[in-house]
Structure 1
């Protein structure tokens, strides 16, 4: 039956589960066997006492007929030889008590290893067998002539020994089952030992190491699983590599197009707007000299040209970070931080950058700048932070960028949804750029408040593989 998606699956340790199951089975065998042994002992002894009592009564009656005359009326005058009951006592454990007509004891003997039990043990055996487990009958010479009474009871000591041996056998069976569980546990443990290597490989894959592969296993089934996993991992690595190369090409083409548009807009429209503003200034001078009616039109043209220049500067800023090519990444980030410190009086921004990070590839530099730019915008707009710290450092062949604030945490879903609705750069654009460069992006809520944006990027763009 298929398991529903919302059905919670409990973690299962197969080795521990197997050992617990076998141990519970051994305990169940011991418990059920003990109950069965006690019930069997009770009904067996009670039945044997009744049957044995009748047989003994008949044997003693026959012996009285053979060894006494008609004038003997007391068991003291009739010397009964109880040793004749020894063969029966070797098979069935019982005790016999003889009393005369006046209820005086005339004989008392237990057959087959008579044992004196401590009072608690004898009381326990009486509870198991039953205090009413006995046989009583009259013995005499002829029908109607009674010379005494016989009472047959179980030999509780011998029955206890028999019961103990049965329980010991049950305990031995249970211990044998447990021993078998240990014998089974060892090959199962050896067979499942490669699971640690499998989990380690999966953990490496989870952390982004696409080159992790399963080792060769001795167990055929696990080795087939490992080979299938390695094949899928290779296909995944090839697919992700192809996607990353395509995404890098798209990023490069987009940045080149933006750079081209920025240069064209700056060179063409900037010159035309500057020329138009100069013409408007000349027209205002002519209006002041002799054509006053021309001045309002010249001022309107000048204001329009100035406004268009401001709009053009904003478009150029969105297309390409100002000064990134001329001054480098560190200076551009510092300029961005200074602008936010000047614009937001209630929030202080701090930038920490390691030395030697101005010679990064263009895609990596632009990505870092855009991530910092978008992170600061989201922090000011949604975080309500008092302080924001931006740290960029080198870690071997990777770059670590962290943007940490002390504002209201847990706003990531709102920012994400808003970014997608607006179609802006947003978190979706940040993820696309980071994944295209083979990096990782994590957004964590801090306690008690705040948000940490943690980005790890390679310091160099991966080399393009030949087709």
Structure 2
């Protein structure tokens, strides 16, 4: 059920409160002479409280009259500023604590190396979250470029070479929908954590003569068992969740054998440009 407009709701409240005051006043005037001091005090309290409520509602009347529905689904300036403030706090406070914690471990020790890797992954997830809370006007190419900037050092430390076939010059009309960037992040995280790969290729192309985009993340890792293609819980997004989110966007997600020898995640998504 949709909420009423503030002015309509305020006028309704004023009408009901005026009716209540009128009925209370009529009852008090009719029965005043036959009532005792206790009832007199009760009526005075009820009428005084109602009067205070009326004044408070009348104070809000000018604000309700100025209210206008938002014509845009885009976040307001205030919301953007609040998101940026939260992102800065996450980066400066939580991020700095994770960096300080990393310095406490000796990467030469096997046990410390495992704990350090876990902290590095947490720091990466935090930075990706902060990036996602940034400018909502970024194009998909910009979002993917930021993702590459964050993930490439991690891939390099894991010994994974990345091939990047996404060019802003060749994709001037790439959709701004963040869906593909979210899927790219999840797919690359799965490659880092589970694929045991040494190469990964990310590509984004528009199919000739159409408004259909094809996005792929392919690796040369151990591959994905057919039985787990729909149910594997790897990562925070989950493969079945990926497919459902793409389906809701009118696209199709496929897990295919990769020409590199591992797994290829392919998203086919139509967009009106």
TM-score if structure 1 supplies the norm length? 0.31
CA distance in 1 between counterparts of 2:132 and 2:163 reads 19
Q: How does 1:31-180 map to 2 (within 5 A)?
A: none
Larger CA Rg, structure 1 vs 2: 1
Picking from 227, 230, 245, the partner of 1:433 is: 245
CA distance in 1 between counterparts of 2:91 and 2:197 reads 40
**Contact 1:399/1:458 (CA < 8 Å) preserved in 2?**
yes
Picking from 359, 378, 388, the partner of 2:200 is: 388
1:325 partnered with 2:143: no
Aligned to 2:22: none
Task: Looking at secondary structure, tell me which structure has more helix per residue.
Answer: 1
1:267 partnered with 2:80: no
Report the 3-state secondary structure (helix = DSSP H, G, I; strand = E; otherwise coil) of the residue aligned with 1:389.
Answer: strand
Extract unaligned runs of 5+ from structure 2: 1-72, 101-121
**Contact 1:400/1:454 (CA < 8 Å) preserved in 2?**
yes
Aligned to 1:12: none
Q: CA deviation at 1:304?
A: 7.8
Report the 3-state secondary structure (helix = DSSP H, G, I; strand = E; otherwise coil) of the residue aligned with 2:189.
Answer: helix
Q: 1:382 to 1:262 in 2, by over 3 A?
A: farther
Q: CA deviation at 1:338?
A: 3.2
Aligned to 1:369: 181
Aligned to 1:406: 220
Give a deviation string over 1:125-171, Cα, whole Å, max 9, x none: xxxxxxxxxxxxxxxxxxxxxxxxxxxxxxxxxxxxxxxxxxxxxxx
Give a deviation string over 1:340-362, Cα, whole Å, max 9, x none: 22112200112112535465444
CA distance in 2 between counterparts of 1:454 and 1:304 reads 34
Give a deviation string over 1:172-198, Cα, whole Å, max 9, x none: xxxxxxxxxxxxxxxxxxxxxxxxxxx
Let me know the Cα RMSD of the aligned residues: 4.3
Aligned to 1:348: 161
Report the 3-state secondary structure (helix = DSSP H, G, I; strand = E; otherwise coil) of the residue aligned with 1:338.
Answer: helix
**Contact 2:187/2:217 (CA < 8 Å) preserved in 1?**
yes
Q: 1:319 to 1:438 in 2, by over 3 A?
A: farther
Aligned to 2:149: 338
Extract unaligned runs of 5+ from structure 1: 1-252, 275-302, 462-467
Higher relative contact order (CA 8 A, sep 6+): 2
1:307 partnered with 2:121: no
Q: 1:409 to 1:401 in 2, by over 3 A?
A: same
TM-score if structure 2 supplies the norm length? 0.50
Give a deviation string over 1:41-63, Cα, whole Å, max 9, x none: xxxxxxxxxxxxxxxxxxxxxxx
